[in-house]
Amino acid sequence: MRGESKGSWKVELGLTLRLAGPIVLGNLGQILIGVVDTLMIGRLGVAPLGASAFVNNVFVIPLVTMMGLLAAVTVLVSQSKGAADDRQVGRIVRHGLGLTAVVSIAMFLLMAANSLFLDRYGQEAVVVEASRSYYWLIAASMIPALLYHCLKSVWEGLGWSRLPMLVLLAGIGLNVLLNWLLIFGKLGLPALGLEGAGWATLIARWAIAIAMFALTLRARRFAAYLPRRWLSGYRWTEFRKMLKLGLPMAAQHLFEVGAFGGAGIIVGWISKEALAAHQIAMSCAAMAFMIPLGLSIACGIRVGEAYGGGDHARLRMIYSSALGFSLAQTVVSALFFLLAGGLLASLFVEDEQVVSIAASIFVVVGLFQIFDGAQVTILGALRGISDVNVPMLITFVTYWILALPVGYVIGFPLGFGAIGVWMGLAIGLFAAALALYLRLRQRVG
């Protein structure tokens, strides 16, 4: 950083990208598990692909909502680091894991109860029947998925994002191997089809969680931050601090992912082919979204450090440089989807009707990327300064009052089908990005 002030746009962006790189790769790894499943399940036919889409649309709602709750861990750790309070980091680790254990079991029980109502979502009978055993296996993977996410949040809050990335990438390799063995029955194992994909995901997620915990305990540089006690010394004031910050963020995630999950269910009312096309488009869009999401997390961590240290001029430079980069990157993603949508769809499935529907959706996905990247980067900055209540209300209005109803109207009464539902989502994201930007300027200038 010689020759430049610490607060220069170029230097701050470089520091944010250095932190964001491993986070992006780790996030891509999270989504790659689902994308690989989609690619491999697509070889089984349209009904299994539709079933996996249905299950994941249901599963992702509680999973991502609880990830929003646990985002409080990253914010609090980064702020404690900025204030040079190592002992407080240890308390956050202990209370964060305690909170994770409770909410992950609760979410599994919620999904277990929901299994009684799978035929009430308006999906085709063949899709519901194909999904049952896969549903239970994916539900059981909730617990290890959230345990890993909590530990990942601690490491990232301290600015150490490489190890969580490496652990996850190793887990993806294991998931791919297990998919090959269990879906198609290789090396003498039975061909379990969609159920095999469920077993592969469950085993891989437990391996990832166990490896992450073991490495946290053994890492030399983490020793100063480990709790002095693991099973005692819990304080309600610490949990309350996490919940005060985390519950609004959980609500933000619920409103956003609930809108996308709801869109998937609405598309399922059209046909299993439309649902399969929706899953293909969602998998690709989610993968592209991991870049601005990783940037958002890094931006929030660095904003949190600056906020904890009282450096507001640097805080503004951090978020503005991150937002500028996000806009440039998502324009490139948009062009890719506009030009290569049909080719992408053909990689997942051979059914011509599914490919045609997915290709049309990708036209909307291209524009969608720009708005989505902007709103998530701004959300990261707002979380870094612990501003979560107003953003929660903004996401509720833009996704549930605007995006889903407009998508339904364009898709059904106006007759645009699945592409109309996605147009509604794009409109909601544009409104969210604009409103969140105005909120950020109001708070920090």
Segment 54-76 mean pLDDT: 84
Farthest-apart Cα atoms in the chain, separation: 66
Angle between helices 86-114 and 46-82 (to 10 degrees): 160
Q: Which of 106-115, 198-207, 230-239 has the lowest mean pLDDT?
A: 230-239
Q: Mean pLDDT for the chain?
A: 85
pLDDT at 92 over 70: yes
Residue 229 reports pLDDT greater than 80: no
Instruction: Report long-range pairs for 391-395 (Cβ below 8 Å, ≥24 apart).
Output: 391/248, 391/252, 391/436, 391/439, 392/248, 392/249, 392/251, 392/252, 392/255, 394/432, 394/435, 394/436, 394/439, 395/251, 395/252, 395/255, 395/256, 395/432
pLDDT at 193: 86
Higher per-residue confidence, 177 vs 368: 177
Q: Pick the range with the lowest mean pLDDT from 49-58, 137-146, 298-307.
A: 49-58
pLDDT digits (tens, 9 = 90+) for 300-351: 888 887 877 777 778 888 888 999 999 999 999 889 888 888 888 888 777 7
Domain locations in the chain?
A: 9-444
The pLDDT of residue 400 = 92
The confidence score (pLDDT) of residue 174 equals 93
| pLDDT > 60? residue 4 | no
Q: Residue 368 to residues 66, 196, 213, 288: CA-CA distances in angstroms?
A: 25, 33, 37, 11
- Our measurement of the distance from residue 403's CA atom to the centroid of its chain's CA atoms, rounded to an integer in Å, reads 19
Q: Is the pLDDT of residue 55 over 70?
A: yes
pLDDT at 1 exceeding the cut of 60: no
pLDDT of 57 above 80: no
Instruction: Specify the residue for token string 């994941």.
Output: 56
pLDDT value at 221 more than 90 = no
What is the percent of the chain where pLDDT is above 90? 27
From CA 66, how far away is CA 267, in angstroms rounded? 25
124: closest CA among 35, 49, 34, 234?
49
Q: Say whether pLDDT at 433 is over 70.
A: yes
pLDDT at residue 36 greater than cutoff 70: yes
Q: Is the pLDDT of residue 252 over 80?
A: yes
The angle, 0 to 180 degrees and rounded to 10, between the axes of the packed helices 272-308 and 352-384 is 20
In DSSP notation, 69-133 reads HHHHHHHHHHHHHHTT-HHHHHHHHHHHHHHHHHHHHHHHHHHHHHGGGGGGS---HHHHHHHHH
